[in-house]
Structure 1
Amino acid sequence: MKFIHSADWQLGKPFGRFDPDIRAALSEARFDAIDAMGRAAAEHGAAHVVVAGDVFDTEGPEDRTIVQALSRMERHACRWWLLPGNHDFARNGGLWDRVRARAGSRIVVLTEPEPVEMEEGVWLLPAPLTYRHHLDDPTHQFDSMETPGARLRIGLAHGSIRDFGSRGETNNQIAADRARRSGLDYLALGDWHGVLRVDDRTWYAGTPEADRFQRDDPGSVLLVDVAEGAGPLVTPIRTGRFQWLMRDWTVNDVAAFDADCAALLGDIDAPNTLLQLLLAGITDLTDRVAILGKAEHDLCHRLRFLDLRADDLVGRPDDDDLAALAAEGTPGIAAEKLSALIRAGGPDALIARRALERLLIEYSREEQI
């Protein structure tokens, strides 16, 4: 049997740090990922898509978010199995009743910890979350779930098998050997936003559309091919549109920065890339101004989004910089005083360096007018 394993769609995520046009693009990409999953299921002969929690970003999404999600799923011939996670946990009269009221026959909401026969002899064992945080292992009931005539037992859960530290939930802890304990042929997990193999029968699918600066990989799902008495064959399939990259460059002049930019742009799909860029190094003040100008007025416009962090890129004014300012009277006097503060060190040196840099930038602008 083949099926698609996915999780952590988090539809309706606000992306509040971004401008409206970027927010709209990121939100739409999450819906587009549903279509990518449906196409992948058809292409690979998978009749089912199991979603291991956090279909929605909150337990109270807007009606449009629900309708858009369901309409995307209903365009495809596969069956969709939806599990409540910690973001969209199940409660009476809540989100999942709204979903059921609108869902077609190919969409199954799993709000009860009861096994369901997906196909003859293929049982799905769900562990829906009814609160955001569970102190007990949400999969402990798998041990006692009866699945008569089962040839395959597939677990579906949302939680942490290991402590992911600051980048993952520490609640809803799941036993690391749950698949073995409960006689599962495969345990489909959600919560961790990257593809992660725990053991040969236990996998995190990650999110189908990346949503944070955490890893270079774009969003994906897992194609799972499992047979009775054999370990599953698991294959990641890309579904995501956007890549969220983190880069840390040490540059000492404009040429080094240009070379790094050229290499990056040669490797990525720039309009669909969000980049968090950390710059460090010591360079002439003129070069620092030029580097920041290129980043803010060229690289920024090529990418979907640029988060530039350049506090560790230190600019040193050279004699030519100071001489140019000195010839301008008052700016020159200010530049000399700031240079003296920088040379003296102490608590005001960093502020003085920033002020001198700003003075040079404004002077350069006036020269270009």
Structure 2
Amino acid sequence: MRLLHTSDWHVGRTFHGADLLADQDAVLAHLAELVERLAVDVVLVSGDVYDRAVPSAEAVRVATAALRRLREAGAQLVITSGNHDSAARLGAFAEFAEAGGLHLRTTVDALDRPVLLDDEHGPVALYGIPYLEPDPARLALGVPEARGHTGVLTEAMRRIRQDLAGRAAGTRSVVLAHAFVTGGAGSESERTIAVGGVEQVPGSVFDGVDYVALGHLHGPQTLAEHLRYSGSPVAYSFSETARKAVWLVDLDANGFAGAERAELPVPRALATVRDRLESLLEDPAHESLRECYLSVTLTDPVRPLDAMRRVRSRFPHAVHLDWQPDGGGDRPLRYADAVRGRTDLEIAETFLADCRGDEPGRRERELLVAALETAGRANSDRKDTTR
């Protein structure tokens, strides 16, 4: 049996305000091409199908189209809910969907009820553990003494091993889980699932099964041969520079037979650049960045006015802008003593200088004086009305 392991689609997510639905749709369509071309039997989606508990109609449309294409390509689908999903919404109509080859595992009481599929070597039991929020999960699992993610996942896996032990000899096993397993490397785009400062669980919790398809971390990575993260199919932060991928996992008569990485297309590359604004707009060396999602750090000694609009005149997909003047790190911050012995006007002027990297001009001082006088009159009027 051949499995395609993916996760963390986060359909509906934006990238620094840029709409990613078209990018997500294109990459998810490629998964269906892989299924058909490489004879994949089962697609595993280990949580975070959507980016929000209540996804937009457009996000639902993209996700539904992706699932339809995967099913039409010939694969069965096994999906669990992640910490971004609404388990109840994602799992709606699960019993009806199962008849069409879409197997949703979003509830605690179903985590030890496997999807049973057969190949030439016999049965394969696929268990889906939805994201388990520790406090409600320990009560739902009947283990009030369990602590944190490790406690509830330990109980979940105990139930799975117990079910597996009662099945026919030679039954191979796969577990989908959405968790932060020790040894995994996070990125800037994952939402923390820490409870009491602890979010990681040891990989040994998942011992006793042939393959564990992990979700939550957005970079593809191998913690053990049978314990892997597929990562997200699209980059959601500038820290995600590694090429996105899925795992193609083969099971033979003895269980896990190997995994092969299949890289995914990049709808739009990510890039970062650091330069002064005029150089950024005029230097031919930057032309290769025109079609990238771009993070810009401006190094001008004075903060340029209307900087993002001007940057986008050349780089229409610039999505992030920062200002770090050359040598600015050596300039001491003055906020600690900003108000000590200073007038309101001096404080306001200091604030402007620190924000812009340059002293306010004559016209700006005139506007500050007028604003402070207006504020003073307003305060005086309020005091009069309270007498």
Contact 2:127 2:175 in 1 (8 A): yes
| Equivalent residue in structure 2 for 1:110, among 89, 105, 111 | 105
Q: Is 1:296 matched up with 2:323?
A: no
Change (3 A) 1:160 1:352: closer
Whether 2:206 is the aligned partner of 1:193: answer: no
1:28 to 22, 26, 32: 22
Output the CA distance in 2 between the equivalents of 1:42 and 1:260.
41
Contact in 2 for aligned 1:155/1:184 (Cα 8 Å): yes
Alignment match, 2:234: 209
Q: CA RMSD in A?
A: 3.9
Distance in 2 (alpha carbons) for counterparts of 1:314 and 1:36: 46
Are 1:274 and 2:300 matched, yes or no? no
Deviation at 1:56, TM superposition (A): 1.7
> CA distance change for structure 1 residues 299 and 144 in 2, over 3 Å: closer, same or farther?
farther
Deviation at 1:297, TM superposition (A): 5.0
Structure 1: how far apart are the matches of 2:281 and 2:65? 49
2:87 matched residue in structure 1: 90
The answer to whether structure 1 residue 10 and structure 2 residue 35 are counterparts is no
Give the residue type in structure 2 aligned to 1:113: L
1:113-145 CA distances to partner (integer Å, 9 max, x unpaired)?
122222232221221235487623425334333
The offset of 1:67, in angstroms, is 4.7
2:246 to 191, 196, 221: 221
2:157 partner letter:
H
Indicate the residue corresponding to 2:126 in structure 1: 124
Percent of pairs with identical residues: 19
* 3-state secondary structure, aligned to 1:121: strand
Q: How far apart are residue 276 of structure 1 and its match?
A: 1.3
Question: In the alignment, is the contact (CA less than 8 A) between 2:6 and 2:247 conserved in 1?
Answer: yes
Match of 2:274 in 1: 249
**Out of 248, 253, 259, which is 1:233 matched to?**
259
Whether 2:180 is the aligned partner of 1:160: answer yes
Instruction: Specify the code of the residue in structure 2 equivalent to 1:174.
Output: V
Show the counterpart of 2:157.
Answer: 140
Following superposition, the deviation at residue 212 of structure 1 comes to 2.3
Structure 1: unaligned runs, 5 residues or longer = 316-345, 360-369
Identify the match of residue 321 of structure 2 among 291, 296, 308. 308
- In 1, the alpha carbon distance for the partners of 2:233 and 2:294 equals 19
Whether the aligned pair in 2 keeps the contact of 1:222 and 1:235 (CA below 8 Å) is: yes
Partner letter of residue 125 of structure 1? Y
Q: Note closer, same or farther for the CA distance 1:17–1:104 as it changes in structure 2 (3 Å cut).
A: farther
Deviations 1:125-167 (A, max 9, x none): 2212354876234253343331423353211100100276784
Shift of 1:197: 1.2
Aligned residue type for 2:178? H
User: Partners of 1:72 and 1:37 in 2: how far apart?
Assistant: 8
Indicate the residue corresponding to 1:366 in structure 2: none
Q: Give, in whole Å, the separation in 1 of the partners of 2:280 and 2:235.
A: 32
Displacement of 1:289 after TM fit? Answer: 6.6
